[in-house]
A and B are shown apart, each in its own frame.
Chain A
Amino acid sequence: DVKVTQSSRYLVKRTGEKVFLECVQDMDHENMFWYRQDPGLGLRLIYFSYDVKMKEKGDIPEGYSVSREKKERFSLILESASTNQTSMYLCASSSGTAEATNEKLFFGSGTQLSVL
């Protein structure tokens, strides 16, 4: 089975801190994604990557950046955390190229981030 591992289950940070969320997948998937999930708003795509060193903005990239130096690892960076970035962050991966579609999406367990 595909395993997508997020480094932290819960995080508490202060406003203005730089925050790193790490995600590792073990199935050699090309595509990796970062979502945030908020009550009443559902899942929203922040960034995705379809190859090493490649990244594309999702629907809500403001205030975030990403890094993908190795195929198995996709990091989400909050340059200066703000209270409105308190949320559940979900990492996901899927196989195939950006054009390949009929592949299931596999999610990590999530990181609940609280910014105080």
Chain B
Amino acid sequence: DGGITQSPKYLFRKEGQNVTLSCEQNLNHDAMYWYRQDPGQGLRLIYYSQIVNDFQKGDIAEGYSVSREKKESFPLTVTSAQKNPTAFYLCASHRGGGANVLTFGAGSRLTVL
């Protein structure tokens, strides 16, 4: 079955550590997105990528980094510069063109101890 796989589902981090969240899709979608979800604030866009080897900052990119070396993969690194990293992170993808539907992964819950 096609879909988006995020790992790990739960992650604990000590302050000062970088962590990388994995996102893999087998939908053959061109565009991929990372969102952060906090209670009462909805989904906020961190980074997005329309094609391989290209990505753009979203609304809250500070303290995060991404790469897009393969069409299927869009990992997100939460760096120690992110002051409040505890959140639910969602990866999504979109085929592009006229298919204007965003498909989400199951999410990764990051907790900073």
The answer to whether A and B belong to the same complex is no
Contacts from A to B (Cβ < 8 Å): none
B contact residues vs A (CB 8 Å cutoff): none
